[in-house]
Structure 1
């Protein structure tokens, strides 16, 4: 079991190492026929115009390079969009702030109008002429140009206090498109998250990691078989509740959403259980005080199935876990009282704590996403595994229930 878990962990980190050489974010390309293809797009950390788009389907797939004439546009999920434009003989991608019948483009210094019947007209204080609605139109400055945009129904009015700023101009161009009865999409001026440290590139905006904490309730069931007839085995008829803490790493297996993901956790806890036993056989009473203690390091590995597309996402988990028990100690101190009320103390340390417990897990939970990087989740989980004692001749198992809260704010 530990060998399989180690192999899985190494595979995850190797994949992340390969993909970290260049930063990719969830995104899409828009083909020349208007259809979308989703995958991952190389991040553009700064600048509003680029010469190419680097695209791949998922983390370890081949990377494809697209030039402006090969696709209409590309963009990032919840982020920027770049459209293919031609300026003279030069083709490049320019940031698109409004996508509609009339687009608003921005190269970092100057804004441009582009779209149906409009061919990359700069918005500035200069004069010029262009073709609008099939007619040659002269204008003096950006305000005069906006007032002369085609408006058959006289539904659009240029604001009186319109500054030459990308944020305000985006609102005005979006309003113009809507006034003409067409849809318009306002797009971001930067990608979510900005620049991240190198270690975050291990699955940036695809993989998530953070801290977790919760409560664990465990019961260790064991009973003797014929071969262990003379061995005393305590009966645990309750669940021991203890706090747990640790970290998690989650990696989606789908290239453009987290419908199915791989979830790896490391949890640490310490337990100290007290049990009391009293038996009467042939007028002989045996009383026992039993303590069982160890520090556990648990490594659950599971597949997570996530539902819905909103900020609240229910999920289910199923997988395996391996646990290493450090410093395990079993003690039994007691007394035997005979029919004459003679009491004799004794100590019995014949049982030993197993160094490992392996088993299966399943859980249900809810995740709340604040953005692509920040989320919290709450999960109820059940686990069933091997027994706590190292002796042969016992039929035993471990049953645990967990309530786990996880937080990812990195």
Structure 2
């Protein structure tokens, strides 16, 4: 675990330097007056984009920074676009909001400093904005089933009444608002239906609906682990030397997931040999109470199948992430033995059977760096813990391992 913390610390030190780097992509800015200016816009996290736009007319041009009160908006060619809008409340604040839908009613999104997503809606593209709020409140209520008060989650929907008033001229969508949840895909569908119903002179636009994406992943790195052998009522820790670990997998971005969540299924090959020579205490027989030389060795060759959920903390040029999940390990080869040197009698050799399948959990943290439309590189530190390795759980305990992996994901 100490090594895992060191690896994780190294990633944390690497991430800020990577985040500071520029990541310009083809895009445009909309000055307060005049035509659209095309060039390159720095592709950064949502939190940074809401406060500042960095633009250059060409790859060799000078970078100019624009605040929300200096532009109508900006965007990336064929991608996300932003408008400069004044937020409701006092004091007045102007920020760049991501455009989700435009029309008789418009929808915007932003990500605040605490990584919380916030949605705003307003009339056309110039009307005052309203914050869309959905609240969860913990309340004490009496439960007849358990005969006492219990904590329960109470959800309120203030945003529904705001949307109902905003879209009052289209009765067709009112029924949808009654059961609406503050979820992006449902909001997009509602605004698209309303703008088609209401018409008007405002240009109609809705951001493309997210579709399920599947990307292929290759991984490789170093792995080290340890386990515990119990014999004669004493525990001995066996440590394996560093070895290679490699494999591949699939990363799935379901359309119904939050856009920062994804799932991964991997297949990894690893071979470990645990061995140790030590002095062991004899607890039975003629040599009871004596210390004798012992040699323990365990060989494990396995195919491991992690099923993981990943949360990407930031979006932009560098994307830190954390992930966790379950692992099934299939042993393609496994054996364990303990040799004890008994004075005047030679060597006593004991063999232990190794389970062909065992289960565990995994926790990882890393950074992903996009490399354009081709894919993205990643660097990750992982910690793993497995259940009993031998048929008799009292003989061999679970494996505890750490790894440092580099990988590449193909596709955007």
Q: TM-score range with shorter-chain normalisation?
A: 0.3 to 0.5
Output the TM-score relative to the length of structure 1. 0.47
Output the TM-score relative to the length of structure 2. 0.47
